[in-house]
Amino acid sequence: MSNRTRNLALPGFFIVFMFSFYISAYSQTGSVYAHQKVSDTAGNFTGTLDDSDFFGRSVADIGDLNGDGTNDLAVGSMFDDDGGTNRGAVWILFMKRNGTVDSYQKISDTAGNLSETLYDYNYFGQSVAGIGDLDGDGVNDIVVGSGDDEDGGTRGDRRGAIWVLFLDSTGTVKSSQKISDEDGGFTGTLDDIDRFGQAVYAIGDLNDDGVNDLVVGAPNDDDGGYNRGAVWILFMTDSGTVDSHQKISDTDGNFGGGLSDSDFFGYAVTGINDLNNDGNPD
């Protein structure tokens, strides 16, 4: 088991995951006073997981999808084999207040009404993020990353992609919009093995147009040198397409951090709200 963990804040909780995940409640002193593991043998989760599915590779708080007063989760399972080898999947978990699973909906190449075609080794679910109610139907939507997507099905170029999934209250997909160097109004240049979509996060409405925007990691981007990495700020429309973008890398976006080869900048991304009080999320 990997010794790497990540924490994601929920109201009153943290989520800690290592290819299953734990929901833990912390006191003001930082000690754990309650926790609940969710896996194929714990937490009342009855979905079928196979060896090496990597359930819990990514996880996001997506708000109260079914209107029962408890926030729900999207959980990535990037090596799931529905439809083919390592195509990936995302599980929508409808949660109880005690941290156990009330019900679930799987989204994959063969489940959840996903109309997009996934290919072998796409690793759909490598990253997930909640983006709020993008289309204004009263149900929150999600974004799913696939850093190894090739837009064609032949393994090799791994430029990457993300999908905006418009959900209904049962967790199935009403419609979807893929964003890659060939889809979704994205006009940025991606090169082979950039792995755009390795990480994704909704950073709020950066340009004040009423639509939440995204930051997307491309950790194998070669701006300035080998695998130095990059992040893309995507200004979104309510249809899930990209209105405009800004790249931040060793040579773009006024970033003066000084990156070295194989730094993989963009391997993880998050928002930090308005750190400098200028009215814009950071």
Angstrom distances, CA of residue 150 to CA of 29, 58, 193, 196, 245: 46, 20, 9, 11, 21
* Distance from the Cα of residue 187 to its chain's centroid: 21
Predicted TM-score (pTM) of this structure: 0.87
Give pLDDT, residue 19.
53
Query: What does the pLDDT profile of the chain (282 residues) look like in tens digits?
Result: 333 333 333 444 444 444 555 555 555 666 655 567 888 888 888 999 898 898 988 999 999 999 999 999 999 999 999 999 999 999 999 999 988 999 999 999 999 999 988 999 999 999 999 999 999 999 999 999 999 998 754 566 889 999 999 999 999 999 999 999 999 999 999 999 999 999 999 999 999 999 999 999 999 999 999 999 999 999 999 999 999 999 999 999 899 888 999 999 999 998 887 778 887 876
Beta bridge partners of 256: none
Closest CA to 200 of 272, 116, 270: 270
Give pLDDT, residue 38.
85
Q: Computed from CA positions of residues 201, 128, 265, 195, in that sequence, does the dihedral angle turn out positive or negative?
A: negative
CATH superfamily placement of domain 50-249: Integrin alpha, N-terminal (2.130.10.130)
Decide if 191 contacts 218 (C-beta within 8 A).
no
Give pLDDT, residue 278.
81
Residue 282 DSSP symbol: -
Residue 89 DSSP symbol: E
Give pLDDT, residue 43.
82
Token pair 């019900």 is found at 103
What residues have CB less than 8 Å from 33, skipping those under 6 apart? Answer: 25, 26, 27
Give pLDDT, residue 143.
98
Give pLDDT, residue 282.
67
Pairing of strands 161-167, 173-179: antiparallel
Report the b/e string of 44-83 with b at 16+ CB within 10 A. bbebebeeebbbbbbbbbbbbbbeeebbbbbbbbbbbbbb
Give pLDDT, residue 72.
95
Helix (H, G, I), strand (E, B) or coil at 188: coil
The one-letter amino acid code at 209 reads: D
Closest CA to 36 of 20, 52, 19, 58: 20
